[in-house]
């Protein structure tokens, strides 16, 4: 008590009045410093006795029971952070049921609803029984995943499920490689006057590689429009020959042979071609290849590639392999094109012709 009085005695009158106000001392503003010290000291003694008596009668505050839950947080395209907590009741029930190993089950749920998952993508990771957090490697980026917390039974090998996390999307590792198609409406009544500009993609050479693979075994044939273009390219090397095969001397006319009718000139051109669209769908977690070239899948497992459809034969072997590599499906598409006549030319090669 003497130590507390010494400490209070060092305070100023204004500070003592503030302490007395906090303790509820009546008429503290009219009391002297000595009176304030006595009143504050007596209040401290009364308060300490009352607090000790109350604390002795009170029971310890109950600790809130933990709620069993698991949280799945993607960290980057290759790793995810998972943390969890298990209530005492669920832990006791699991141990009574024969729980031996605490595990995390990672399931791919991309494009699925109602709590279902792709069975062949399920992965089970054994974690420490006293741990409350873990880092998980992500099987495949740009997918939706859900984590299940539970115990593996020792002898029977059964499973005791405790909690499910929310579905979270793992970000993509690379920019999307999906090829965007551009379709042109065409009717005989109103044909387009120009061809559309193709949409560039992140892998603009994919369609050309697919075409080269599909036509590798038939390239020696050199039929149709391909043979025509080769002849046209080789013929352009001859000096003095016009690119369009027509010119001021092409029809045998000379300037003196025009007579009294003034000659007329006009440049004319035509562009026409065809493309081949290969499309389909498979399991979103599968690996799809066309002619050995991997083709990206959309989120729902669909794919669509647009390749050149030139003269000759094109063979497209398509194969889908499940994520675990145990199941495969394949189909081979064979296409042939023939152009019996080609008298077209682009606008930049159009030249004046006499007619």
Residue 239's pLDDT band, with cuts at 50, 70 and 90, is very low
pLDDT, tens digit, 9 for 90 and up, residues 12-63: 887 878 878 877 777 777 788 888 888 877 776 665 544 455 456 556 656 6
- Whether the per-residue pLDDT at 256 is higher than 70: the answer is no
Q: What is the mean pLDDT of residues 250-275?
A: 62
pLDDT, tens digit, 9 for 90 and up, residues 102-154: 999 998 888 887 777 776 778 889 999 889 999 988 888 888 899 999 998 87
Predicted pLDDT of residue 54: 43
Predicted pLDDT of residue 130: 87
Residue 275's pLDDT band, with cuts at 50, 70 and 90, is confident
CATH class of 69-169: mainly beta
The average confidence (pLDDT) of the chain is: 74
Distance, CA of 5 to CA of 96 (rounded, Å): 60
Question: Model-level pTM?
Answer: 0.37
Predicted pLDDT of residue 3: 43
User: Which of 106, 76, 144 minimizes the C-alpha distance to 284?
Assistant: 144
- Whether the per-residue pLDDT at 291 is higher than 60: the answer is yes
Helical (H) or strand (E) element with 280:
strand 275-281
- Whether the per-residue pLDDT at 211 is higher than 60: the answer is yes
> Residue 311 corresponds to which tokens in the numbers above?
């003269």
Q: What is the mean pLDDT of residues 276-295?
A: 89
* Percent of the chain's residues with pLDDT above 70: 66
Q: What is the mean pLDDT of residues 204-230?
A: 57
CATH 2.60.40.10 domain locations along the chain: 69-169
The CA-atom distances, in angstroms, between 86 and each of 68, 97, 99, 146, 335 are 4, 15, 13, 18, 60
Burial of 153 (0-12, 13-18, 19+ CB in 10 A): middle
């Amino acid at each position: 008590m003497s130590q507390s009085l010494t400490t209070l005695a060092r305070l100023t009158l204004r500070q003592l009045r503030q302490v007395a106000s906090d303790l509820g001392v009546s008429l503290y503003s009219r009391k002297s410093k000595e009176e304030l010290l006595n009143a504050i000291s007596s209040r401290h003694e009364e308060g300490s006795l009352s607090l000790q008596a109350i604390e002795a009668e009170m029971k310890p505050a109950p600790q809130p029971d933990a709620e069993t839950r698991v949280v799945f947080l993607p960290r980057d395209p290759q790793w995810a952070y998972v943390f969890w907590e298990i209530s005492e009741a669920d832990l006791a029930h699991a141990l009574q049921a024969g729980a031996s190993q605490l595990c995390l089950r990672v399931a791919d749920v991309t494009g699925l609803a109602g709590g279902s998952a792709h069975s062949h993508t399920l992965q089970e990771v054994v974690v420490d029984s006293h741990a409350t957090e873990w880092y998980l490697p992500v099987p495949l980026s740009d997918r939706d995943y859900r984590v299940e917390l539970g115990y593996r039974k020792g002898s029977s090998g059964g499973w005791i499920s405790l909690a499910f996390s929310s579905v979270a999307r793992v970000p993509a590792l690379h920019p999307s490689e999906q090829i965007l198609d551009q379709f042109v409406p065409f009717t005989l009544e109103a044909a387009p006057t120009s061809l559309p500009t193709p949409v560039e993609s992140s892998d603009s050479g994919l369609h050309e590689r697919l075409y080269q693979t599909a036509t590798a075994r038939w390239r020696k044939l050199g039929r149709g429009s391909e043979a025509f273009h080769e002849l046209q390219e080789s013929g352009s090397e001859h000096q003095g020959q016009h690119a369009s095969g027509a010119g001021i001397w092409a029809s045998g006319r000379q300037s003196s042979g025009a007579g009294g009718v003034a000659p007329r000139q006009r440049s004319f051109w035509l562009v026409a071609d065809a493309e081949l669209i290969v499309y389909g769908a498979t399991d979103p977690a599968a690996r799809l290849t066309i002619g050995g070239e991997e083709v990206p899948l959309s989120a729902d497992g669909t794919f669509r590639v647009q390749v050149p459809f030139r003269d000759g034969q094109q063979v497209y072997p398509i194969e889908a392999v499940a994520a675990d590599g145990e199941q495969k499906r394949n189909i081979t598409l064979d296409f042939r094109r023939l152009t019996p006549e080609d008298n077209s030319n682009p606008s930049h090669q159009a030249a004046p012709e006499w007619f």
